[in-house]
Amino acid sequence: MLSIPERAAQIIDTQEQQLDEINSRTIFLAGSKNVGKSTLLHMFLEKLETPRNTLVLEYSFGRKTNLKQAIDKNVCHIWEYGGKLDMLKNVLPVLPKTKNYYYCIMVDLSKPKTLLQTIEICLHAINETQSISDNCVTNLIILCGKYDLFKNFDTEAKKIVCSTLRSVALLNDAHLMFYSSKESMLVKRAKDIFNSIGFENGISIKDKQTNPTKPLFINKGADTWENIGVARSTFDEIKQRYYSKIPLDSSGDVTTVKTGLKKTHPEADIDKLIALKYDELREMETLEIDIMSIVDYLC
């Protein structure tokens, strides 16, 4: 039987753990290569240094004082995945989660022939690894980058892409948002969204934009099949409809990430060693990293 001091210490530990859960958020970001994931996170966290290429998996965090309780700080844990998408299912199960968990799939609007394949691979990974016993509820955001290039596409092509993305978002109960690092209005909105999911109680912006000639923004639950203009569809039906008009680009494999090696050392021998190490990381079949020890160290 516990003594009174021991019981008091147990109660305090429990309350602190519950408070940590309330004040903590987790954001996981994956998707198309070279679409601007690192740039977006740097802007959200207000980092001044130039973003580097994400090799496999990178962790960062942000803190913000809780206005209701000035002593406490809300913490946002951020994981960015930059490895092969077909290895994503091996990474997700080992990531620590909080009860407030957001999974962001970021796709490249300027590459319509591969964006649906990217979404499909990411959705498959999260559905395959999500456990029924998880205490957290996964919130899904489909974030579509490089709108500054997409807006110049043919009107009919934009209608097809927008209709498909809205269908996928509706089918998977996801938020849908278009973004470009080149347009200040879209940067501000993206930062507001990340601030809401990272430090507040979820997406609070009620704006809605469904016009295919404008940057889409649709909260989950705010769209319908009738508004999209198509019949209720399965993912296979959405794919069939999309690829009948925009064929899949079979020449490019979205699961492969190719990044140029930065020559940070003038010595050829060191460059060779770095290249070998990078190749080993890219070819890893499993990610055997004690992530919890990393989190404990960083926090």
Give the confidence band of 294 by pLDDT, cuts at 50, 70, 90.
Answer: very low
In Å, how far are 41, 123, 145, 205, 223 from 169, measured between CA atoms?
A: 22, 11, 15, 17, 9
Q: Where are the domains of the chain?
A: 15-257
* pLDDT (tens digit per residue) in 88-135: 888 888 887 767 788 999 999 999 999 999 999 999 998 887 764 455
pLDDT of residue 199: 78
Give the confidence band of 295 by pLDDT, cuts at 50, 70, 90.
Answer: very low
* pLDDT (tens digit per residue) in 15-43: 444 444 456 788 899 999 989 888 888 88
Q: Residue 184 corresponds to which tokens in the numbers above? A: 């200040």
Per-residue pLDDT, averaged over 173-186, amounts to 94
pLDDT of residue 142: 96
Sequence-ordered list of residues with C-beta below 8 angstroms from that of 106, at least 6 positions apart, any chain = 29, 30, 31, 32, 35, 36, 37, 40, 143, 144, 145
- The matching CATH number, chosen from 3.90.1150.140, 1.20.1440.230, 3.40.50.300, 3.40.50.800, for 15-257 is 3.40.50.300
pLDDT of residue 239: 95
pLDDT of residue 16: 43
Give the confidence band of 297 by pLDDT, cuts at 50, 70, 90.
Answer: very low
How far apart, in whole angstroms, are the C-alpha atoms of residue 200 and residue 193? 10
pLDDT of residue 236: 95
Residue 259 has pLDDT above 70, yes or no: no
Per-residue pLDDT, averaged over 167-181, amounts to 95
- In 3D, which of 120, 125, 107 has the Cα closest to residue 33? 107
pLDDT of residue 218: 94
- Of 297 and 83, more confident: 83
Residue 292 has pLDDT above 60, yes or no: no
In Å, how far are 130, 273, 278 from 55, measured between CA atoms?
A: 24, 16, 8
Give the confidence band of 51 by pLDDT, cuts at 50, 70, 90.
Answer: confident
pLDDT of residue 163: 97
Q: What is this structure's pTM?
A: 0.75
- Of 285 and 74, more confident: 74
Instruction: Look over the chain and give the mean of its residue pLDDT values, rounded to a whole number.
Output: 79
